[in-house]
Amino acid sequence: MEYFLQRLPIFLIDFVIICVALYYSLIRSNFPIHMLQLEGYDNDEYKTFLKNNKEKMNKLVYKLDKNQKTPIVWTDRAKRLLKKHKLVNYIAFVLVVVFSLGFFDGSGSYVLSILVTIILSFLIYYYQYRLLILTNKWAKPTEDKINMGFYKSAQAKIKKFKEEDGLKVLGITGSFGKTSVKFISDTILSEGLRVKNTPSSFNTPMGLSKIINNELESDREVFIAELGAKVPGEIHEVAELVQPDIGIITAIGPTHMHLFKTIENIQKTKYELIEDLPEDGIAIFNYDNDYVKPLADKTKKKTYRYGTKDFDKLDVYADDIKVNERGSEFVLHIKGAGEIKCSTRLLGVHNISNLLASATAAHVLGLSLEEIQRGISKVEPVEHRLSLIPSSNDTIVIDDAFNSNPVGFRAALDVLREFKDHRKIIITPGMVELGDMEEEENRKIGQVMADVLDFAILVGKKRTLPIYEGLKDKNFDEEKIYRVSSLDEATQVLAKISMAGDVVLFENDLPDNYNEE
């Protein structure tokens, strides 16, 4: 009893300090959990984020950004992670009490013991973003087990529908263009078949498993699956899930270079889709793309090549192409089927390539030229991919805010060129995830921008420095370059400089974990 009474003041003071620290620690943990969620719950990606954002993460208090592009979503996984993180915090604060009592036993000083409690409690509060790594590592085996259950269920469902109902699966991959081709294919194929598409950029095993388990019905004739990857082997994993009969490789280029390191690794990874096709499967390749061409040439399975040049080597191609600010016209040729004139509301020559990919898949699945033509005319611009959006001040706004890359950025600038006799303005944070190429590619794009634009609004002063230097290389008027810290600030600048008839291109829109503020 005497032992307890002697330490009672420490217990009481520790209790108060720890309750306050625990309360604020759990509030503080919401921001790191949000950032971890944006990094796909991948500890390695999250650690890289921490390394690149020390100033942001080392703030004493995280202020809630009212203009978050992607707020935290409290999914079942996020809730499970938070529950485990609370437990990790409880254990950490119990250890604080143990240390505090240990110091008292060693020194006999109440002051020193309480000081230890305050210091350790503060460190736990401050380093919530580090403690989360431990929690996520602890949670991973459980999450993997849960995910595997969903995966196996979806895999079995696809197999059953293929065997019993004749379901065909169209798999689409590529460094870029795959989401656009997915939505275009849905529109065209729906002219003659019952199709189930996947929403947005669902291209991971868990995203696809959710759609298959919850939404795919046995009356569907075609299931369209987008296959994404950030490391070698991931396409195999998704292909084993969806079991594609037809595979499209849309394009290959320098994306996620910080993970893949080389273009050769990207080629090998994207080709996993073709390797996983059955022996009687059909491989479809964009033969205009220099990195895709050798993959097509080495393929032994039945192959279709599409493009806009070297027609004698192609199975599907477009010629007589006319592009303007309202869309495009072209003649579609399919060997063995004939030719037909097509028109589309999609902007840019690169979108004709996307249309050809989908037209090829439609031909393989038995649609007529007329059905394909009708589908092409109905295709709507995919959200955030060179889509025209309404404006309240008579400016023409082009939204190309989804995941920019060197090829896509140049294609967007080509579209901008088509708007003759208009002032041209760009708002961009530049390109990311290009690895060692990132600085040089952004500098090059700045040089290209200088020949197209009248005004440049660069979002993120540090990140867009190479673009700024590229513009200066071409003697672009510095008074027409605006370097801002946020999209909010960029729109304020736009309001001041824009006038009726201006064309405004929003090129790329990085998620909250890239915010420099």
pLDDT band of residue 35 (cuts 50, 70, 90) is very high
The confidence score (pLDDT) of residue 316 equals 98
Q: Of 378, 402, 437, which one is at a domain's C-terminal end?
A: 378
Domain boundary among 145, 179, 200: 145
pLDDT of the residue at 463: 86
Tokens representing 60 are: 């004493």
Examine residue 161 and state whether it is found in any structural domain, yes or no.
Answer: no
In terms of domains, do 371 and 399 share one? no
Over residues 140-174, the pLDDT tens digits come to: 999 999 999 999 999 999 999 999 999 999 999 99
Decide if 82 is inside a domain. yes
Number of domains making up the chain: 3
Query: How many angstroms separate the CA atoms of 247 and 281, rounded?
Result: 8
Q: How far is Cα 188 from Cα 201, in angstroms, rounded to an integer?
A: 19
Which residue is associated with the tokens 């901008």?
A: 416
Contact 271, 195 (CB under 8 A): no
Statement to judge: residues 222 and 276 lie in one domain: yes
DSSP secondary structure code for residue 478 in this structure: G
Distance of alpha carbon 503 from alpha carbon 419, whole angstroms: 8
Residue 249: inside a domain: yes
Output 267 or 13, whichever has higher pLDDT: 267
As a whole-number percent, the residues of the chain with pLDDT over 90 amount to 62
Q: Are residues 172 and 277 in the same domain?
A: yes
Task: Let me know whether 490 and 435 are in one domain.
Answer: yes
pLDDT at position 259 is 73
pLDDT computed for residue 66 by the predictor? 63
Q: What is the pLDDT of residue 446?
A: 93
Last residue of a domain, one of 359, 378, 397: 378
Whether the per-residue pLDDT at 475 is higher than 60: the answer is yes
The Cα–Cα gap between 413 and 403 comes to 15
Lowest pLDDT segment from 112-116, 333-337, 386-390: 386-390
Q: What is the pLDDT of residue 5?
A: 61
Give 438-467 pLDDT, tens digit per residue. 889 899 999 999 999 999 999 988 889 999
Q: What is the pLDDT of residues 69-126, one digit of tens each?
A: 678 889 999 999 999 999 999 999 999 988 888 877 777 777 888 898 999 999 999 9
pLDDT number for residue 436: 78
Higher pLDDT, 382 or 118: 118
Strand partners, 482: 457
Q: For residues 465 and 438, state if they share a domain.
A: yes
Structural domain for 21, as ranges: 1-145
Token representation of residue 171: 């798999």
Same domain, 315 and 442: no
- For residues 132 and 190, state if they share a domain: no
- End-to-end CA distance of the chain: give it in Å, rounded: 55
What CA–CA distance (Å, rounded) separates 355 from 346? Answer: 9
Q: How large a percentage of the chain has pLDDT more than 70?
A: 95
- Res 187 pLDDT > 90: yes
Residue among 490, 507, 402 nearest 446 (CA): 507
Lowest mean pLDDT among 247-251, 268-272, 398-402: 398-402
114 and 56 fall within a common domain: yes
Query: Are residues 425 and 338 part of one domain?
Result: no
Is 288 contained in some domain? yes
**Residue 67 banded pLDDT, cuts 50, 70, 90:** low
Is residue 32 left, alpha or beta, with left meaning phi > 0 and alpha meaning psi from -120 to 50?
Answer: alpha
- Could you tell me if 244 and 169 are in contact, meaning their C-beta atoms sit under 8 angstroms apart? yes
Residues 130 and 182 in one domain: no
Is 499 inside a domain boundary?
yes
Radius of gyration (Cα) for the chain, nearest Å?
Answer: 27
Residue 455 domain-assigned? yes
| Segment 397-437, tens digit of pLDDT | 888 877 678 888 888 898 888 888 889 999 998 988 787 78
Instruction: Tally Cβ neighbours within 10 Å of residue 14.
Output: 22
Query: Which pLDDT score, from 0 to 100, does residue 465 have?
Result: 93
- Whole-prediction pTM value? 0.79
On whether both 374 and 392 belong to a single domain, the answer is: no
Please say whether the beta carbons of 215 and 252 come within 8 A.
no
If you average pLDDT over each of 146-155, 247-256, 343-352, 412-421, which comes out highest?
Answer: 146-155
The reported pLDDT for the residue numbered 277 is 97
Same domain, 135 and 187: no
Give a yes or no: residue 160 inside a domain.
no
Please report, for the domain that includes residue 340, its CATH number: 3.40.1190.10
Contacts with 354 (C-beta within 8 Å, 6 or more apart), sequence order: 177, 180, 181, 184, 250, 346
Across 56-61, average pLDDT: 90
The reply to whether 159 falls in a domain is: no
Q: What is the CATH number of the domain that holds 495?
A: 3.90.190.20
- pLDDT of 278 higher than 90: yes
